[in-house]
């Protein structure tokens, strides 16, 4: 417990040596959705491997970094590249950056991801505002002793995704003429994509989209009393009775094509925030 606090302090101290910027908003950019950092002005980047206690990534990529700067008048920090449970990181590791961003001062967390669409009204390339989630990862980042100074033992989950932020992004979407859906995101551990029987099951239990991330970070964000806005980019259509093979190249291609509208939506929503 004290260990986690010390680890957070260590990472924060290292960041403070590089920038005095106090972010109000944290952004986690999902698979294939890292281009939003282009919208950040006065950028300062810090690679994850420069930060003590940050999980070490097996893949050396320029996408593993924190990007500090401004969007409009707002100070932001963006995670370009996240840690996935299926990569072998613990749930504590996956969510450590959220703890660090909270310690840096963020009040709002915006999360994006690439997800498979199970709602038959969704098409590949659609954007879905996450209205709620189902945790089917078989793990939870809050398991273990609870540090009451960070958040409650039994955090309430009546509204993990902030309804005002949802309305705000939908208003912006309307103005920008970017169609958006709303739906429930279910998180599974992965790394395999689902069987047809699994898609049928996930749809029946009430999910509109499925992916392998986001929920751990959102659970920790709620524990830390952050406001959360989540957006899924639907990258493939997961209809059990008409399922076509999917692969990561195709998923990345669709995410890249949808990326400009996602970036526009998030930057404009941030600018419109009070």
Contact positions vs ligand HPA (CB under 6 A):
114-116, 190, 193-194, 210-212, 235-236, 238, 246, 251
Q: What is the DSSP letter of 191?
A: S
Pairing relationship of beta strands 74-80 and 25-29 according to DSSP bridges: parallel
| Cα-based angle 46, 51, 57 (whole degrees, multiple of 5) | 90
CB of 264 to ligand HPA, least distance (A): 21
102 vs 133, which CB is nearer to ligand HPA? 133
Q: What is the DSSP string of 261-274?
A: HHHHHHHHHHHH--
The residue at minimum Cβ distance from ligand HPA is 116
CB of 32 to ligand HPA, least distance (A): 9
CB of 112 to ligand HPA, least distance (A): 12
Q: Residue 210 — φ and ψ, nearest 5°?
A: -130, 140
Q: How far is CA 176 from CA 34, 126, 169, 239, in A?
A: 21, 15, 10, 29
119 vs 235, which CB is nearer to ligand HPA? 235
CB of 193 to ligand HPA, least distance (A): 4
28 vs 67, which CB is nearer to ligand HPA? 28
16 vs 196, which CB is nearer to ligand HPA? 196
CB of 232 to ligand HPA, least distance (A): 9
How far is the C-alpha of 33 from the C-alpha of 45, rounded, in Å? 17
133 vs 227, which CB is nearer to ligand HPA? 133
14 vs 246, which CB is nearer to ligand HPA? 246
CB of 256 to ligand HPA, least distance (A): 13
Are 262 and 230 in contact by the 8 Å Cβ rule? The answer is no
Residue 36: which residues within 8 A CB-CB, separation 6 or more? 27, 29, 78, 112, 259, 262, 263, 266, 267
């Amino acid at each position: 417990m004290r260990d986690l606090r010390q680890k957070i302090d260590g990472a924060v101290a290292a960041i403070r040596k590089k920038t005095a910027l106090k972010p109000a908003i944290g952004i986690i950019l999902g698979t294939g959705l890292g281009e939003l950092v282009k919208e950040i002005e006065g950028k300062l980047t810090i690679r994850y491997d420069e930060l003590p206690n940050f999980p070490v990534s097996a893949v050396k990529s320029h996408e593993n970094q924190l990007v500090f700067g401004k969007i409009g008048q707002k100070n932001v920090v963006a995670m370009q590249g996240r840690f996935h449970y299926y990569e072998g990181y613990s749930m504590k590791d996956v969510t450590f950056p959220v703890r660090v961003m909270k310690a840096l001062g963020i009040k709002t967390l915006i999360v994006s991801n690439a997800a498979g669409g199970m709602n038959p009204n969704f098409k590949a390339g659609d954007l879905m505002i996450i209205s709620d989630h189902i945790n089917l990862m078989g793990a939870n980042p809050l398991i273990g002793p609870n540090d009451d100074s960070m958040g409650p033992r039994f955090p309430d989950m009546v509204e993990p995704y902030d309804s005002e932020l949802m309305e705000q992004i939908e208003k912006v979407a309307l103005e920008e003429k970017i169609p958006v859906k709303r739906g429930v995101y279910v998180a599974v551990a992965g790394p395999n994509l689902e069987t047809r029987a699994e898609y049928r099951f996930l749809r029946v239990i009430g999910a509109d989209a499925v992916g392998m991330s986001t929920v751990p970070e959102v659970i920790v964000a709620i524990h830390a009393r952050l406001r959360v806005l989540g957006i899924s980019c639907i990258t493939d259509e997961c209809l059990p009775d008409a399922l076509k093979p999917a692969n990561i190249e195709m998923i990345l291609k669709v995410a890249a094509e949808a990326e400009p509208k996602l970036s526009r939506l998030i930057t404009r929503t941030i600018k419109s925030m009070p």
